[in-house]
Amino acid sequence: MSPSHFASGFLAAFIVLIGAALHFRILRFHATKHLTQLHIRSRSGVTRTLFTRTWLAALGFAGLVAIVPLLAIGANHLSLLLTTGLLFGAFVQNYLNPATGAASPTAAQVFNQDSVVVDCTTDGVITTFTLTHNLNVSAADIALGYPEVFIEPNSPTGIPATLLILITRPIASGNAVVFTCAAVAATFRVRIKRPHTIGR
């Protein structure tokens, strides 16, 4: 049995037992000075103190022990939703050159490379995304409008005209480009080229 199942079962059993005791009047609380005393009634009508304040605190602690793992599990699920974008939208990047996969290229990987190529997918929810290229474009070149960024279709359906991709310029970083777009599901390719002396 996993820890999450054990915690869930423990908490459920704890709640059911307390609820049943209250329902059948086996468990009741005094509204006076005995507010924290737990009482049990016998069939003869004799009421006896079963637990004192200390035992109630112990029961509360047991309930807390059962709840904490559930809260931790919930936090993990929320973290998963946030990091994967399932809660507020997702952007998927798949680098093709010089790195491959979801991780952006390192400075060593782009060394002596003139461009970074990445396939992108928006889900119709997100309206901004950032692509890291690590080309280390100088502030002087950024002021001149570099790096060059090309957006190309990579599917038979092309790029939806309503996607309206814009690049935030002047680019604030020499190693990344920030894009804004409409909340439209699309797939496309981005090619970010390093500035060089040829063609300037």
> What's the token pair of residue 177?
């480009």
Q: How many angstroms separate the CA atoms of 79 and 98, rounded?
A: 30
This model's pTM is above 0.75: no
> What pLDDT was estimated at residue 76?
47
The ranges assigned to domains in the chain are 3-84, 91-193
Nearest to 130 by CA among 167, 83, 88: 167
Residue 182 neighbours by CB distance under 10 Å: 15
> What pLDDT was estimated at residue 172?
86
The amino acid occupying position 39 is: H
DSSP 127-176: -EEEEE------HHHHHTTPSEEEEEE-STT---GGG--EE-SS-S-SSE
| Residue count of the chain | 200
Q: What is the pLDDT along the chain (200 residues), one digit of tens a residue?
A: 544 455 556 666 666 666 665 555 555 544 444 445 555 555 566 666 555 555 566 667 666 665 555 455 445 444 444 444 444 568 999 999 999 999 999 999 999 899 999 999 999 999 999 999 999 999 999 999 999 999 999 988 899 999 999 998 888 899 999 999 999 999 999 999 998 766 65
Q: What is the CATH number of domain 91-193?
A: 2.60.40
Q: How many angstroms separate the CA atoms of 104 and 117, rounded?
A: 10
- Collect all residues with Cβ–Cβ distance below 8 Å to 78 and sequence separation of at least 6: 87
> What pLDDT was estimated at residue 26?
52
Q: How many angstroms separate the CA atoms of 145 and 138, rounded?
A: 11
To which residue do tokens 């310029």 refer?
169
Q: What is the phi/psi pair of residue 48, to 5°?
A: -125, 145
> What pLDDT was estimated at residue 133?
96
